[in-house]
Amino acid sequence: MRIDVLTLFPQMFESPLSCSILKRAQDNGLLETALTDIRDFSTDSYNKVDDKPYGGGPGMVMMPGPVFDCFEHVQKLSPEEGRPILLTPQGQQFDQAKALELAAEKRLILIAGKYEGFDERIRTGLGAEQISIGDYVLSGGELAAMVIIDAVVRLLAGALGDEDSAKDDSFSEGLLEYPHYTRPEVFRGMKVPEILLSGDHAKIAEWRRHKSLERTKKWRPDLLRNGDST
Ligand code: ADE
């Protein structure tokens, strides 16, 4: 998969992309990333990329010109057409189902804006889908883009060391994950549940399913109401 990011702050991505699973996915050739600075496409002598909103009001709005020029340049960097995604709190809320859907794509183009928002013609003109990572406002789309990259890339076949790890993740079946334990068997008087030491795989699977349901009911009942897991 190739992921392009259009941003005013490419340097924000350097550390997340050079650690852990994202680094390994790139080293293994599963993931190719390219960061492009929208400011390089400013036509203004001050390198302006934002301006005051028509109709008045506070804040600055990303101008369409630099974003369109940047997008058109980036789209041509690779023969595979990229799916354009605008990061904005007005978008559809990102979740595991969306991560799975995006992980099936060959190429994504994530557009991260700073300031108060994008000129509306960016969304309509580029035909970009809008995605939000939650009902709060970040100072820009960069962190949201990183969240999406991380959640998507770990779903690519071969990205995780253990092929089964993503399958059992919380949300992958609409439920929270069951509790995990590792050594030691007793820690400060707290014991690992006996069943996990029994070696009875069918019983263990049943216990885990029960625990998943129990903690979903208790901590995230909204997931049960939305889904068909019950
Ligand atoms: N940009 C600012 N806030 C955001 C959010 N919650 N999700 C995605 N992009 C954003």
In a domain, 159, yes or no: no
* Count of helix runs (H) and strand runs (E) in the chain: 8, 9
One domain for residues 21 and 91: yes
One domain for residues 90 and 196: no
Residue of minimum CA distance from atom 2 in ligand 1: 138
One domain for residues 51 and 24: yes
One domain for residues 6 and 106: yes
Burial 43-54 (b: 16+ CB within 10 A, else e): eeeeeebbeeee
| Structure token digits, residue 85 | 């995604």
Final residue in a domain of this structure, among 105, 127, 153: 153
In a domain, 123, yes or no: yes
Using the mean position of ligand 1's atoms as its centre, give its distance from the Cα of residue 183 in Å. 39
| Structure token digits, residue 208 | 């885990």
One domain for residues 220 and 131: no
Residue of minimum CA distance from atom 6 in ligand 1: 89
Which residues have a Cβ under 8 Å from the Cβ of 57 and sit 6 or more positions away?
none
Model confidence at 230, pLDDT cuts 50, 70, 90, reads very low
Query: What is the separation of C-alpha 227 from the centre of its chain, rounded to a whole number of angstroms?
Result: 21
Concerning whether 169 is annotated as a catalytic residue, the answer is yes
In a domain, 158, yes or no: no
Mean pLDDT of 4-22: 97
Final residue in a domain of this structure, among 153, 179, 209: 153
One domain for residues 185 and 221: yes
In a domain, 77, yes or no: yes
Q: Report how far residue 157's alpha carbon sits from residue 7's, in angstroms, rounded to the nearest whole number.
A: 28
CATH of the domain at 190: 1.10.1270.20
One domain for residues 35 and 144: yes
Pocket lining for ligand 1, CB < 6 angstroms: 87-89, 132-134, 136-138, 141, 144
State the pairing for strand pair 61-62/50-51. antiparallel
Residue of minimum CA distance from atom 4 in ligand 1: 89
Model confidence at 227, pLDDT cuts 50, 70, 90, reads low
Are 94 and 50 contacting, i.e. CB atoms less than 8 angstroms apart?
no
In a domain, 208, yes or no: yes
User: Higher confidence at residue 59 or residue 201?
Assistant: 201
Model confidence at 128, pLDDT cuts 50, 70, 90, reads very high
Q: Report how far residue 204's alpha carbon sits from residue 119's, in angstroms, rounded to the nearest whole number.
A: 54
One domain for residues 19 and 110: yes
Burial 94-112 (b: 16+ CB within 10 A, else e): bebebbeebbeeebbbbbb
* pLDDT, position 229: 47
CATH of the domain at 52: 3.40.1280.10
User: Of the listed 69, 116, 168, 173, which one is catalytic?
Assistant: 116
- Helices 142-153 & 96-103, crossing angle to 10 degrees? 70
Which atom number of ligand 1 is nearest to the Cα of residue 137?
3
One domain for residues 48 and 134: yes
Q: How many domains does the chain have?
A: 2
Q: Which residue from 98, 135, 137 has its CB within 8 A of the most atoms of ligand 1, so it is best to mutate?
A: 137
Which residues have a Cβ under 8 Å from the Cβ of 186 and sit 6 or more positions away?
192
* pLDDT, position 228: 52
In a domain, 161, yes or no: no
pLDDT in tens, 71-92: 999 999 999 999 999 999 999 9
Concerning whether 193 is annotated as a catalytic residue, the answer is no
State the pairing for strand pair 83-93/107-112. parallel
One domain for residues 149 and 175: no
Q: Whole-number mean pLDDT of the chain?
A: 94
Concerning whether 53 is annotated as a catalytic residue, the answer is no
Q: Which residues, in sequence order, are bridge partners of residue 4? A: 34, 109
pTM: 0.94
In a domain, 108, yes or no: yes
Mean pLDDT of 144-171: 87
Final residue in a domain of this structure, among 128, 153, 178: 153
Concerning whether 116 is annotated as a catalytic residue, the answer is yes
Question: Which residue range is the domain that position 115 belongs to?
Answer: 2-153
In a domain, 39, yes or no: yes
pLDDT in tens, 204-226: 999 999 999 999 999 999 999 87
One domain for residues 144 and 189: no
One domain for residues 114 and 195: no
Q: What DSSP string runs through 35-79?
A: EEEGGGG--STT---EEPPTT--SS-EE-HHHHHHHHHHHHTTSS
